[in-house]
Structure 1
């Protein structure tokens, strides 16, 4: 393949599922953060599109060693990524917007025994500007340490962004915080699964070349863009065949690209959201939307998921196909679970109501109480800083000046301190 590929990136943030109650300027858009990338096919020539990678090797320690700049031609800039379809249709699966819940408090949740594992984390956007550009790495590290957060999830979408994050990760690791990359890529300008695979391979290889991470997340809410209408996403037939195949190519390519450099880092299956676990089921089973089997399978080490306030109870989430225990469905994959985006919609209520819900019985308190039952290894709040006015909204624990703490900051900090994991 000789032509360059221009790709739209499905970016992290904002979660899945529409916030139908959003009627004011403070509410967050459900459109995903976005960027674009171009991948030269010549940089991955000779990589078979049928190559699959096993990802069950143990994770390597985050040593802080920065790798050399990758030569893969992947160039990033801003563009619109495909977003979850939120139009109302028969059997629609838009979560109802949540009202402030008086029962959402931490007082009724038992405190689990302390263990040595990492558990609490936060999302950041060091490659997307805003407060992250005006806040030094040292300041961000100090804030994460104060919060008690050990994981810091950030996006990459090109060799340049990968190298930038690698430098930040080295400083963070010395301070006891583990950064891991979520690799962003979409399918808008690829034509088939082979092209998607080659582009994914290039970004996966570039990311692993920039630094040997203990974890790599492959894509972000990608499957949402293949849904056929506003459906739950629990069944194969609810996904578009052509889009699914290209998305499978991106994911398989990313994993193979990582494995061409790093055979130890664990693969985190890109966080999906709401009831869209049918996408992951097809990947794991080698199935396609028409129900046929025998197609390429995808293996991974950790299943990631995203959950936001309008989605309600993650163990009893109700859509057009009925009510589902999402954690029970995710546990069937046989992998540890990370809830690596959770947050409260900015139009939920006052800042204090948002803080109370964040740590309450449908978010942090529930996740902690159910951690041993469903093998939840980590939960990661969305996000450290508010977006600027042109972004998705004020989801942050701090305002977009990078220094002003919101009520959610102290709520998160106090919860972590009183619920060691």
Structure 2
């Protein structure tokens, strides 16, 4: 676990949320000890003989005079230092307690900091008797403390929130602290909820994440495709019906060939009573590949393109548009493609206004034609740093007061390499959080997974199992997490890397896995 400066000193202190400041307790190297070696030798001479059985879990010194671990090693405490079989175990000082718990030796310094023995040194940790990560839904003040996935201990005292004994941002009159979906939330006496963004101790306004919300039914099972397929629109409708799909996502620019192809799809989908989601494929670059010249120019470009596409498709029943594809993951917009996106600082501050401008322009362009249309903004990986900054009118450098981007649907890409959407890593590999729950509470709009799949290198057998597992997870959470649709990528990729069909022939077992699931789990 990560070393911390302050910890709860003992279980009795937890009931009143009293915190003790940590001080020296030990370490694997460094730190000075002033123990009396001769006293230690006298104290441990009797303990060097190996016992045949280990001490019981929970045995502590004091009151015990020695502890025998599972290896038969005998542990003692003398002059504030820890000894194993009569020899000093690492460099320890001011130790007040040695504890044997669940097969591991721990020690505690006078300030309450615990350390666990690794076999060769000491690693800082919590008192193991406190337990591990708190159960989802644990709240304060009902419980005396919350332990998050990183091992941090959260407490509530006099309406103020503490993490490892230190205040977290500026909180007051807090009536509830909640551990839910891998995040810490709090509610004030006025009923407003906030979520901890874990960046500079920020608290962001939101709704109660526990409220179950069901998105409108009827388009849950979706598929991605392309405008230039050799399949006719009628064939695509027939194929999708055979797979149990009721929605389809396709990209479009202002190119007349693309618009006419998508019009043909829209006509067929309208006749079939199915949903066509149109991706407005405008990026942050101009036709020559140069970054658009500032926020105003980007807004105008986005507005013009979206208005043209919406005007063409409005007569044919298209009401959902996704404004941009992976705009947060362009060379100009993300600082490093390996970044998870959970921090706004993961993104390019200088080019941020261009991305914001083109997003705002596309939304406004659609609304100028169809005021009742729904516009989505697309994110990838764990890009809540980007989505929060756009929603709140912030720059990646933390400055605020800029135009906000407000979408009607949160859309996200969730390929296997990005992690499980319901437990996605906060830093790409660290403790996970429930992304749809976070978005539901933060933005209050439906959630669409507009692309999902495993990697192109996987076998069809692996892909089939992955489809069954992921659809099961999505389906289980659809009525609580405000998930409107999950759209598999892709119908036909021209090869066996992503497609579920190839030239009209089903690719199995992935195709059978998909259709078996949809037939047994109705979208209602």
How far, CA to CA, are the matches of 1:195 and 1:305 in structure 2?
A: 26
TM-score by length of 1: 0.67
Residue number in structure 1 paired with 2:321: 216
Q: Secondary structure at the match of 2:278?
A: strand
| 1:334 matches 2:437 | no
Structure 2 gap ranges (5+): 1-213
The 8 Å contact of residues 383 and 397 in structure 1, kept in 2 or not, is answered as yes
Determine helix, strand or coil for the equivalent of 1:367: helix
**Counterpart-to-counterpart distance in 2, 1:257 and 1:306:** 24
Matches of 1:357 and 1:140 in 2, distance apart?
A: 24
Q: In structure 1, what is the equivalent of residue 511 of structure 2?
A: 409
Cα offset for 1:139? 1.4
CA distance in 1, matches of 2:468, 2:449: 14
Larger strand percent: 2
The answer to whether 1:120 aligns with 2:236 is: no
Correspondences of 1:11-410 after superposition (within 5 Å) = 117-126=218-227, 129=228, 132=229, 134-160=230-256, 161-188=258-285, 189=290, 190-212=292-314, 213-225=318-330, 226-229=333-336, 230-269=338-377, 271-318=378-425, 319=428, 322-331=431-440, 332-348=442-458, 350-360=459-469, 363-388=470-495, 394-399=497-502, 401-410=503-512
After superposition, the CA RMSD in angstroms is: 2.0
Distance 1:282 1:301 in 2: 16
CA shift, 1:159, in A, is 4.4
Supply the distance in 1 between the matched residues of 2:435 and 2:249 (Cα, whole angstroms). Answer: 22
Separation in 2, partners of 1:232, 1:405: 32
How many angstroms does 1:116 deviate by?
Answer: 5.0
Q: Secondary structure at the residue paired with 2:234?
A: helix
Contact residue 460 and residue 507 of structure 2 kept, 8 A = no
Change (3 A) 1:333 1:303: same
What's the offset of the Cα at 1:321? 5.5
Q: Classify the secondary structure of the residue corresponding to 2:487.
A: strand
Higher relative contact order, structure no. (Cα contacts within 8 Å, ≥ 6 residues apart): 1
Distance apart, 1:305 and its partner CA: 0.9
Q: TM-score, normalised by structure 2?
A: 0.54
Question: Aligned partners of 2:464 and 2:453: how far apart in 1?
Answer: 10
Structure 1 residues 352, 320: CA separation in 2 closer, same or farther (over 3 Å shift)? closer
Q: Considering only CA atoms, is the larger Rg found in Structure 1 or Structure 2?
A: 2
State how far apart, in whole Å, the 1-side matches of 2:321 and 2:260 are.
Answer: 14
SS at match of 1:347: coil
| Cα distance in 2 for residues equivalent to 1:238 and 1:385 | 33
